[in-house]
Amino acid sequence: MAELTRRYVVMAMASEVPFDPVDPDGVFVLKPWKDPAALRALMAYRDNCYPELRRDLDAWISAIQAGPVVRGDVGGRNERHVKGSRTAPQARPRPTKRGRRPAQHRAAGRKKRR
């Protein structure tokens, strides 16, 4: 993982100041081992990197996927909402009133009664 460690410096936060969204040198830390949404973000990043970094990230992602499922506080809350997850809630179509056709199937030119 030479490219991964060459490209990124891992360090403790220098201060406890709040996150500044307008700071161009600001960082946002994700924990892909503990948060399935962070793992998806890492995968998206990998898919858009130069080849050497992509290989390092792919090895890291493979290690995470082969390892035990570990969830942190945020990861546990995100798990139900990850797109493509088996545990994600499924959207259901709204039921129509009995005996009435949905609005998109009404004959053209007919007005809706109230």
Q: What's the rounded Cα separation, in Å, for the pair 2 and 4? A: 5
**What pLDDT is attached to residue 104?**
54
Q: What's the rounded Cα separation, in Å, for the pair 55 and 41? A: 16
pTM: 0.60
Report, as ranges of residue numbers, the positions in the chain whose pLDDT lies below 70: 5-17, 85-114
pLDDT tens by residue, 61-79: 999 999 988 888 888 888 8
**What pLDDT is attached to residue 20?**
79
Cα torsion 47, 52, 56, 59 to 10°: value is: 70
**What pLDDT is attached to residue 101?**
53
**What pLDDT is attached to residue 23?**
85
